[in-house]
Amino acid sequence: GFAWDVTVPAGTTATLSVPALSLDALTESGRPADGAEGLVFEKMEKGRAIFTAGSGSYHFASNVDEKMF
């Protein structure tokens, strides 16, 4: 699977493109990423979940094989 730790600095936002086969298969800190505090799901695009993220630290995990990208 895929795991990614990312920190968005205080006072900023970021657009995050996270490899995932589906939104349901993606977690943030062990919980469903959709609806996670600080994250706004925008869309699925070309095998990636696109989020707008507020400042904070995030730990994403998905079922994507790292060899796919």
Q: Tens of pLDDT along 10-46?
A: 999 999 999 999 999 999 999 999 999 999 999 999 9
Q: How confident is the model at residue 67 (pLDDT cuts 50, 70, 90)?
A: low
Predicted confidence at residue 63, as pLDDT, reads: 86
Predicted confidence at residue 68, as pLDDT, reads: 63
Is residue 65 scored above 90 in pLDDT? no
Q: What are phi and psi of 26, to 5 degrees?
A: -115, 130
Is residue 64 scored above 90 in pLDDT? no
d(CA 68, CA 64): 7
